[in-house]
Structure 1
């Protein structure tokens, strides 16, 4: 799919560094001496805890396809913040350095962060050209040139506290991982406090994601797969893709992020409020540490994929999905996300579902849970990093159209107390250790804490 977050750049850059300088006229430091030298073979890898968005207690909620330059106003960015979003991935025809700086200023005022998709500087070193020491390599920049490009972007946008990092590449093929590893190393050397962001294709090939983790050494793994198809169908490999990404994230000990579908387009339907919530909660059950909305502003018809209204229409009107996302983000996702963000996904199982979707695992009793009966649910179990035997269990309704009535039965020999998370107070309500009946609205979920004996 050729989506709007596969932003089309210029066909070829005849004057690479000169064009970059022109795009940031009046905005870039002229000091590029720091860009001399070569890309290190192995740059230090910051902990996700030390980077914007992946670090800190807040669960990151982002969006792609923000207001276009003419609609980039203080009121529009405040509208984004009011809906519970934390960060914006630039796009929607914002490609000029002065526009980026203006939007970064708006984001700073609104309390948002931004990942900048800079086609002239950053993507010349990470997408349009490869990084190579061999002058014979076609369409390549040298490590020195790559560093010079990065420094220009860093110096132009770095003074803005709202800069979270740079969007290096959207949906790269595996053949690009070598250059992306070099680009990430450049980022870490020259701006270790900024996030080098890359989003991956949907894929059913585990080697694609595992290779990305092993070769690129990313700070997180993000992917997009939009499961709500036309005529009420679901993508049959949605859970399979999530299971593969979860495995790769655990392999690299890095956070996993995902995009959720907010609009209709070719062969995909317009989500209901429950279907937005369902995508969020299924992702949380599979261990997601960041949620991104695709899209926020509606892409215009000229993009050619039949995009329907997203959260905001092409002409700037709010749709029902804006209100739905605001409710999800501000009354549930931020609250439950704070609980889940520091935890490690231990298992994901589907209970009471026959046949099981491709790539999923059915429920079997554990030391802490003896049974899950009733309606089909997805059960994600998480643990803390401190070695505690306690477990957190997110029970998500498998259905986005019907209420689930499910009973989770703790194992009395293993569980001393059960707490039910209340997002309004951000506390756990104590209840007995007997069977826990759950009534889940379409797409909804409940978080339980099982204290081990």
Structure 2
């Protein structure tokens, strides 16, 4: 979060790991006139850097923040995490040093999970005589544990810390190139900051050279409104990732705290499916264990209650992760996000792009309910395209008709249970064929479209 009335991982990290010097976004950026510039369709992909294992393999990263506390770091608790379909555990809660992290890494390995621990020797590393050897020694300690996937280095850093963080992440990459030096960014919440936020992202990518561009944005408020910058934040992060050839990750909210509401099952899925349509290659839950005894905010029920019992959100996340997010995410993880546009909306959300036939490789027209269309292709480009359709609404089902271009030979609907594509019924004539899509509130569906090979 970026205002003093809400608590984020930044605040939790500051209280647990002693993170210092992190300012809220209004202090990071000078507001500029709102801008909607920047491509919605991107064809020139920058060459990617060498990727850590967590980004390079075929498992879609589904992570958590605020793991079980030390007293609850048991085989049972980590099997419970894995059973939910979560595969990445980040540090936090009171898990912020080697003694605690040792047990976390052991339990994570037992459950087949990967871990991004917090260690103050990394987070607070300051260039001075001998600092490189100290960091290398810390990395060596963690390398002994199979679950170790990298470090959660910093959360929502102020740009004044970029030079120091760059030195840390460069040293981590040189010491353990298969591990991730993970940094998460602040979002922006007022529309006049759009232009400044684009400059903020440019500086971040250029000055940090991160392996992944990650951020958080919790759009659903207790007054039942949506933050006006939710979709444009997704757009700016997507553009930053594409221009630099890096995958993007996002945190989604699971728990009422401050002005953020407790999501319903459909609202939890909606956050995830909008992120998929915008090309996100990793989803993390804020939070998993419910924070308690906080001096600033009361947290209601995350996936695991303060008592240690699973809440209804755990069950929703279990179904979402295992039956939808992981199988769909595997399909999309190594594809390129070619388009992220809105269709069938009379008034577009701030900063978003409307669907046009000229910008799509596969669709010539749309009608019906409002949807968000994510179009994907492989790299290098071949004759296959993928289309992810997210319901714009989390309160009503979407019924949309998508008309395909003549060069599309066939359409397949992804079936998550079998990880296969089944033929999709096409209606109309070959010159104007279409298919109908019905999506539940907050849901999303994936399609694969085959193009006629060039002569």
Q: How far has the Cα of 1:287 moved from its partner?
A: 0.4
Are 2:97 and 2:118, in contact at CA under 8 Å, matched by a contact in 1? no
Q: Secondary structure at the match of 1:230?
A: coil
Q: How far has the Cα of 1:189 moved from its partner?
A: 1.4
Q: Secondary structure at the match of 2:130?
A: helix
Tell me what 2:331 maps to.
339
Are 1:5 and 1:91, in contact at CA under 8 Å, matched by a contact in 2? no
Q: Secondary structure at the match of 2:56?
A: coil
Tell me what 1:425 maps to.
418
Tell me what 2:29 maps to.
none
1:294 equivalent to 2:299? Answer no
Q: How far has the Cα of 1:409 moved from its partner?
A: 1.1
Tell me what 2:305 maps to.
313
Q: Distance in 2 between matches of 1:330 and 1:10?
A: 35
Are 1:301 and 1:307, in contact at CA under 8 Å, matched by a contact in 2? no
Tell me what 2:153 maps to.
168
Map 1:211-250 → 2, pairs under 5 A: 211-250=203-242
Q: How far has the Cα of 1:145 moved from its partner?
A: 3.2
Structure 1: state its 5+ residue gaps. Answer: 13-44, 130-140
The one of 381, 388, 394 equivalent to 1:387 is 381
Compare relative contact order (CA 8 Å, sep 6+) and give the higher one, 1 or 2: 2
Q: Distance in 2 between matches of 1:334 and 1:280?
A: 11
Task: State the TM-score, normalized to the length of structure 2.
Answer: 0.86
State the number of aligned residues: 402
Map 1:80-119 → 2, pairs under 5 A: 80-119=81-120
Q: How far has the Cα of 1:96 moved from its partner?
A: 2.9
1:408 equivalent to 2:408? Answer no
Q: Structure 1 292/354 Cα, relative in aligned 2: closer, same or farther at 3 Å?
A: same
> How big is the alpha-carbon RMSD for the aligned residues of Structure 1 and Structure 2?
1.5
Q: Distance in 1 between matches of 2:9 and 2:296?
A: 10
Q: Structure 1 10/419 Cα, relative in aligned 2: closer, same or farther at 3 Å?
A: closer
Structure 2: state its 5+ residue gaps. Answer: 2-6, 21-47, 189-193, 427-432
Are 2:49 and 2:245, in contact at CA under 8 Å, matched by a contact in 1? no
Are 1:4 and 1:303, in contact at CA under 8 Å, matched by a contact in 2? no
Task: State the TM-score, normalized to the length of structure 1.
Answer: 0.86
Map 1:27-426 → 2, pairs under 5 A: 47-48=50-51, 51-119=52-120, 121-125=121-125, 129=126, 141-142=127-128, 144-203=129-188, 204=194, 205-365=197-357, 366-411=360-405, 413-426=406-419
Q: Distance in 1 between matches of 2:234 and 2:49?
A: 25
1:214-263 deviations in Å (ceiling 9; x for gaps): 11111001000101111211111000111000000001101100000001
Q: Structure 1 350/46 Cα, relative in aligned 2: closer, same or farther at 3 Å?
A: closer
Tell me what 1:447 maps to.
446
Are 2:96 and 2:117, in contact at CA under 8 Å, matched by a contact in 1? no
Q: Distance in 2 between matches of 1:52 and 1:303?
A: 38
Are 2:70 and 2:95, in contact at CA under 8 Å, matched by a contact in 1? yes
1:131-190 deviations in Å (ceiling 9; x for gaps): xxxxxxxxxx32x53312312321221100100001111100222222211111110111
Q: Distance in 2 between matches of 1:367 and 1:69?
A: 51
Are 2:184 and 2:215, in contact at CA under 8 Å, matched by a contact in 1? yes
